[in-house]
Structure 1
Amino acid sequence: MHDIVIAGAGPVGLFLACELRLAGVSVLVLEQADDPRSPLKRLPFGLRGLTAPTLEALHRRGLLDEVAALHLSKDGTANARIAAAAHWIGQPRRPAGHFAGIVFHHDRIDASKWPYRLPGRAGTSLAVEMEALERVLAARAQALGVEIRRGAGVDRIEVAHDGVGVHAGGARVEARWLVGCDGGRSTVRKASGIDFAGTEPEFTGYSVDVDIADPDMLRPGRQYTPAGMYTYTRPNTIAMVEFDGGAFHRVQPITRDHVQSVLRRVSGTDVTLSALRVATTWTDRAYQASAYRAGRVLLAGDAAHVHSPLGGQGLNLGIGDAMNLGWKLAAAVRGDAPADLLDSYERERRPVGAQVLDWSRAQVALMRPCPGSRALEAILRDLVDTRDGATYFAERVWGLALRYDLGDDHPLVGRSVPDFAFADGTSMGERLRTGNGVLVDFDARAPLRALAARCSGRVDYVACAARETLGFGAVLVRPDGIVAWAAEGAPDPDLAALATARWFGGA
């Protein structure tokens, strides 16, 4: 019997598998596709933007340098392939992100608004190729001892009080827990009886690789029109949306003639397509699971929430699910989890998912081809170009606003731990690579050392001065890098003990 079976070998399933193996539990990943490679995972369609929480997660597990090396040139700028796929990179002002295509810029952002963020290896954004990211995560998972079984999609499940029987690829496997990371049409979610509800689509989106008979008929970049929106990246890539209620999504094959007719309606031109090489459709349907857990079955990534790809937050949302769930589920498997630890996964992550869905819906509202939306767009462009406006959108788009409600009003608790640079040459991010919690004691107090010793194997004790402590005497950090307790000045050992027991149990 496996401790955990994960359905889905996308980035979320693979990252979760790495987290679970790091914590010492056995993992089997079942994937429906025989081959992980796909044109839709390669540039330009496979371009994804990683935000701060994801970059921090990769850094805290020793993966960031490998991921960044695939996508950066020697001078640290985006390599030619990434730059060609990302039409915004060559703009005169350095863009920092966008909301419904309205760009905010680095020169307007006030970083002083984030006093608990220290300079470190993880930045705020990085453009990556999906296929390359999956390759890195699969290699790490296999190096840790994860078994990945391809061509074995989950067909049905049998849930008992102490485990799950999983039927996949003509075989049945037993697991103590099952995690569905199998996408928006998740078989695991449906089989477990978890409802999926939200708002229906307003448009059909298209991403296509084409040859254009007269490319000068289309303006490059993102263009709003009376019929929808299109983004043209020379020489061959077009993304567009037509507000048809999602009528064409996955209902029939996508032909050159159909794409051409949609493009003509959306662009208002008589553009002619001479060839269609790759095409896919998508919508702005925004749905969320009513629960992230049903007994021995849990959901993460698109199995738990779907929304439009506008702003590229879906991948980051899923990686956040995996980072939050991994250590908690492993503790449940080992039997050393506090009573409600696993329940905190849904309690913390479901509100984050709901917020991203609303963020996506707001962008769709601004894109509607109507005079009201164009008027709102003009006002928002003015706001985004102010210092406060750009800072607000950066905080939301980059994921810097993330904070879990842990029942403590200290402004650092529930946030990502600053990347403290310790006097011994290590950083906070590096100290989290064991997958354990970390109790940082800047002044090496004996009571805190004894407290960490009682949680040996679950909490690492770091007694070391730092270049910048931000005024803290000690912080307790969960394995996912979230601050569980913080003390300014001399810490109270009793409060530290209460926080440690809450997240890591007794000795």
Structure 2
Amino acid sequence: MNVDVIVAGAGPTGLMLAGELALAGVRAVVVERLPERGGQSKALGLQPRSAEVLDLRGLLEPLMDRAIQRVPGGHFAGLRLDLDVWDTRHPYMIGIPQTRVEAVLEERLGALGVQVLRGHELTALAQDPGGVTATLRGPAGPVRLRGRYLAGCDGGRSTVRGLLEIDFPGLDGRLSSVVADITLADPDGAVPATWHLPVMTPSKAGRGYLAPIGEGVHRFLFYGPEQQDLPRDTPIGEDEVGRALLNAAGPGVKLTGIRWASRFTDASRQVESYRHGRVLLAGDAAHIHSPMGGQGLNLGLQDAFNLGWKLAAEINGWAPEGLLDTYHAERHPVAARVLANTRAQAVLLVPDEENLALRGIVAELLRLPEGNRHVAGMISGLDIRYDLPGDPHPLLGRRVPDLDLRTTGRPERVGRLLRDGRALLLSAADGTAFAEVARPWSARVGHLVASNTGELGAEAVLVRPDGYVCWAGSAGETASLVTALTRWAGSPPA
């Protein structure tokens, strides 16, 4: 089988990437070792920036239909964060199991005609100047795929990374924890029926967090002295979970079953480069960290969103030189920051006197408006700013605000204008000068005139397909607009 891109891994990152490629007319195939989608839902929440990203492609509404609930605010090592201080339509976390996110993303692939080959394990990988050849072990025997590129989205134990012998430097874990999906008997109603932000103040006896995830199942995350002393491969039995449940919820709550359980640590690792020739890494294949703050699923989705349109531009032949390499340049620092903040959160959960004193100071800082805003922006992803070339402007490199636009036609908002996967030029006044400049790029860049575009902070803004502003200026700066259009949308089509 010959395709443009082979996507290894049918988790949220791989499915999102394949969808972005297909939206741009790129032939992609997803290969997955597991024969069917697993029942284990590793992640449980979408951060505000991920909600915005999914809305840019019309995916948020079907996801909200399957969500458990909206969870006001966020947290940093169990310390509350107020997300309302950020200008977003979604100042909350969306409680939804990862499996439901995967289902919606895979339905999108079906509508776009993208094949997902389940039960196909990657066994060999070779690349040359023209492309990548992947050998798979499938239900009917060996399968060979040929693609111009391959994207490794196959998780923290990435086969792609292993086959290419890519180093995965970082720090070993210090704090060991358990995550399990359990059923329980709760005759006294001691366990909340709705989600709440975790309150995980350090304790020498350990801590646990329970959240309902539907169909009578609860997610239970816990840690304590017992977990620190057990090897990673020790089976997780009802006795261990029962003791932790007693400590977390009291004697009235009884364990009735374990659906699945896994041990994890606060280990953090990141590859030094996200690109290796014609192979690119995204999601947990490129970086791992503890689940503190609920950032992992979101980080992978946004990796895919950044990479998808750039890789499609390369394959479709209009990418300017160096565009594909901006994927690593932009996303590597974002993940490095997540690794740093999750390590910091793990430190704040260690129950010794020094760390408890440090935690108290951090709690005081988070109660200050500026302290809360800074950390809330970091955890939610709303404060991401890419280091983009161009004249300095407060909007440059930041997510475009989802403004309600006043136009001559029907009311519109920015978030709905990027659903075709093209870049977008928004301009105020009559927009004639901007329209003339952008006309040669009309196949790749949409243009809309709105009387209130100035509320964004500029007379006109150019927004990349991933929702980040790559130029902002006025009618007198059309020369720099041409430069930005060429930099991000290539040379004008002939």
Structures share fold, TM-score greater than 0.5: yes
Pick one of 384, 394, 417 that aligns with 1:411. Answer: 394
Distance 1:225 1:96, change over 3 A: same
Equivalent-residue separation in structure 1 for 2:227 and 2:331 (angstroms): 29
Pick one of 144, 162, 176 that aligns with 2:148. Answer: 176
AA at the equivalent of 1:204: S
Within-5 A mapping of 1:467-486: 469-486=455-472
AA at the equivalent of 1:312: G
Cα offset, 1:448, TM superposition: 2.4
Equivalent-residue separation in structure 2 for 1:416 and 1:363 (angstroms): 26
* Counterpart position of 2:44: 47
* Counterpart position of 2:339: 357
Equivalent-residue separation in structure 2 for 1:140 and 1:96 (angstroms): 29
Equivalent-residue separation in structure 1 for 2:335 and 2:226 (angstroms): 26
Is contact 1:60-1:432 (8 Å) kept?
A: yes
Is contact 2:191-2:249 (8 Å) kept?
A: no
Equivalent-residue separation in structure 2 for 1:104 and 1:459 (angstroms): 37
Pick one of 423, 430, 439 that aligns with 2:425. Answer: 439
Distance 1:481 1:335, change over 3 A: same
SS of the residue corresponding to residue 177 of structure 1 reads strand
Equivalent-residue separation in structure 2 for 1:247 and 1:189 (angstroms): 30
Aligned pair 1:321/2:303, yes or no? yes
* Counterpart position of 1:2: 3
* Counterpart position of 1:19: 20
Cα offset, 1:431, TM superposition: 1.1
* Counterpart position of 1:494: 479
1:12-47 CA-to-partner distances (Å, cap 9, x unmatched) read 111111100011110100011111140x22xxx652
Distance 1:214 1:126, change over 3 A: closer
AA at the equivalent of 1:369: P
Range with bigger deviation, 158-167 or 438-447: 438-447
Equivalent-residue separation in structure 2 for 1:241 and 1:361 (angstroms): 16
* Counterpart position of 1:76: none
Range with bigger deviation, 328-337 or 442-451: 442-451
Is contact 1:473-1:491 (8 Å) kept?
A: no
Pick one of 230, 242, 249 that aligns with 2:208. Answer: 230
Aligned pair 1:163/2:131, yes or no? yes
* Counterpart position of 1:191: 163
Aligned pair 1:136/2:132, yes or no? no
Cα offset, 1:479, TM superposition: 0.7
Cα offset, 1:243, TM superposition: 6.0
Is contact 2:33-2:119 (8 Å) kept?
A: yes
Aligned pair 1:58/2:28, yes or no? no
* Counterpart position of 2:31: 30
Aligned pair 1:277/2:258, yes or no? yes
Equivalent-residue separation in structure 1 for 2:12 and 2:219 (angstroms): 24
AA at the equivalent of 2:199: R
Is contact 1:249-1:282 (8 Å) kept?
A: no
SS of the residue corresponding to residue 472 of structure 1 reads coil
1:366-425 CA-to-partner distances (Å, cap 9, x unmatched) read 011211111122222222223233222222222121000003421100001112322231
SS of the residue corresponding to residue 233 of structure 2 reads coil
AA at the equivalent of 2:52: E
Aligned pair 1:429/2:415, yes or no? yes
Within-5 A mapping of 1:92-111: 95-105=72-82, 110-111=85-86
Flag structure 1 segments of 5+ consecutive residues without an equivalent: 72-80, 84-88, 90-94, 112-116
Distance 1:150 1:214, change over 3 A: closer
SS of the residue corresponding to residue 484 of structure 1 reads strand
Equivalent-residue separation in structure 1 for 2:429 and 2:303 (angstroms): 34
Equivalent-residue separation in structure 2 for 1:233 and 1:68 (angstroms): 18
Equivalent-residue separation in structure 2 for 1:272 and 1:61 (angstroms): 42
Distance 1:481 1:259, change over 3 A: same
TM-score (norm 2): 0.88
Distance 1:174 1:388, change over 3 A: same
Equivalent-residue separation in structure 2 for 1:57 and 1:3 (angstroms): 24
Equivalent-residue separation in structure 2 for 1:213 and 1:132 (angstroms): 25
* Counterpart position of 2:383: 401
Distance 1:462 1:269, change over 3 A: closer
Flag structure 2 segments of 5+ consecutive residues without an equivalent: 193-197
AA at the equivalent of 2:96: V
- Aligned CA-pair RMSD: 2.8
Distance 1:337 1:105, change over 3 A: closer
Percent identity, aligned pairs only, is 38
Range with bigger deviation, 410-419 or 186-195: 186-195
Is contact 2:47-2:92 (8 Å) kept?
A: yes
Distance 1:317 1:243, change over 3 A: farther
Equivalent-residue separation in structure 2 for 1:394 and 1:241 (angstroms): 25
Cα offset, 1:152, TM superposition: 0.9
Range with bigger deviation, 472-481 or 201-210: 201-210
1:89-123 CA-to-partner distances (Å, cap 9, x unmatched) read 5xxxxx511110111346xx544xxxxx4x65x55
* Counterpart position of 2:195: none
Cα offset, 1:451, TM superposition: 2.6
SS of the residue corresponding to residue 73 of structure 2 reads strand
SS of the residue corresponding to residue 315 of structure 2 reads helix
Give the count of matched residue pairs.
472
Is contact 1:229-1:367 (8 Å) kept?
A: no
SS of the residue corresponding to residue 406 of structure 1 reads coil
